[in-house]
Amino acid sequence: MTVIQELSEQLQQGNPKNVAELTRQAINENIDIKTILDKGLIAGMSVIGEKFKAHEIFLPHVLLAAKAMYAGMDLLKPLLLKEGIPTRGKVIIGSVQGDLHDIGKNLVAIMLKGAGFEVIDLGNDVSPEKFLDTAEKENAGVVGMSALLTTTMPVMKKVIDLARARGLYGKKRFIVGGAPLSSEYAKEIGADAYCFDGVSAVETVKRFAGIF
């Protein structure tokens, strides 16, 4: 088994200690950060997601896997941030109201920071008011929303509707992401862009900032 396969395996076992150890090892072996992230950590987490969906495993197992995921992400974070040259622009990011999933959102925040943007992370369970109040107060150009549940997706529309009511729509850019979303849905609710993952979020925000 390669170190990357083992990393995915240990994440699925929910073992934070081994995941940290293997991530360190992979970094030392000069394996590409993106490979460690995509083929190791994210790949392991998606197996967990499938097994949970099939009711083969239950929430305690998913929670342990999430802990393990963070053990790896914490080590990758400084490396992802390294190239960052701050002040390319400000981005507000958060998981929408009712949604406690924050792994994907945190990853996107790290990648945006790494690309040189100033990121204000509002955490999870963020109300529409808080998104917009902060965007106004901080004079941020981009508002990024994450939702992992079909039941919390409609909150994104609420944020955009509220932005319309407050005259912020068109002035600020709204990007959305998360496993259950699609570009059709983003279009339907009036978001400026749907981002499949962290990389596409970085590309999109760069485009909005006029950086290509």
Partner 1 sequence: MQSLAERLTQPGVLIADGAIGTMLFKCGLIAGECPEKINLDRSEILEEIALLYFHAGAEIVQTNTFGGSPLKLAMYSLDNKTEEINARAVQAVRKIVRDEAYISASCGPTGKLLEPFGDTKPEQIFETYRRQMKTLLAEGVDMICIETMTDIAEAVLAVKAARSISSMIPVCATMTFDPTPRGFYTIMGSTIEQAASELNNAGADIIGSNCGNGIMNMVTIAKEFKKHTTLPIIIQSNAGIPILKDGVSIYPETPEYMTEQSRELIDIDIKILGGCCGTTPAHIEAFKKILRENSAKTY
Q: State the minimum distance, in angstroms, from the CB of residue 71 to ligand B1M.
A: 13
Q: Report the b/e string of 140-171 with b at 16+ CB within 10 A.
A: bbbbbbbbbbeebbebbbbbbebbeeeebbee
4: nearest Cα among 57, 61, 76, 63: 76
Q: State the minimum distance, in angstroms, from the CB of residue 9 to partner 1.
A: 19
β pairing state of 142-146 and 90-95: parallel
Site string for partner 1, 148-177 (x = CB under 8 A): --xx--x--x--------------------
Q: Which stretch binds partner 1 (CB under 8 A): 53-61, 77-85, 115-123, 180-188?
A: 53-61
144: nearest Cα among 177, 171, 111, 115: 177
104: nearest Cα among 12, 188, 201: 201
Site string for partner 1, 78-97 (x = CB under 8 A): -------------------x
Site string for partner 1, 123-142 (x = CB under 8 A): ----x---------------
Query: Based on CB atoms, which residue is closest to ligand B1M, 28 or 63?
Result: 63
Binding-site partner at residue 97 among partner 1, ligand B1M, none, CB < 5 to 8 Å by type: partner 1
The yes or no reply on residue 67 touching partner 1 (CB under 8 A) is yes
Classify residue 181 as exposed, middle or buried by CB count within 10 Å of its CB (0-12, 13-18, 19+). Answer: buried
Residues at the contact surface with ligand B1M, assessed by CB under 6 A: 42, 45-46, 48-49, 52-53, 59, 62-63, 66, 93, 98-105, 107-108, 144-146, 148-151, 175, 177-180, 195, 197-198, 201
| Collapsed DSSP state (helix, strand, coil) of residue 175 | strand
Determine contact, residues 17/50, Cβ cutoff 8 Å.
no
The yes or no reply on residue 100 touching partner 1 (CB under 8 A) is no
How many residues line the site for partner 1 (CB under 8 A)? Answer: 17
- Three-state SS across 43-112? HHHHHHHHHHHCCCCCHHHHHHHHHHHHHHHHHHHHHHHCCCCCCCCEEEEEEECCCCCCHHHHHHHHHH
Q: State the minimum distance, in angstroms, from the CB of residue 62 to ligand B1M.
A: 4
The yes or no reply on residue 63 touching partner 1 (CB under 8 A) is yes
Q: Which residues bind partner 1 (CB under 8 A)?
A: 14, 54-55, 57-61, 63-64, 67, 97, 127, 150-151, 154, 157
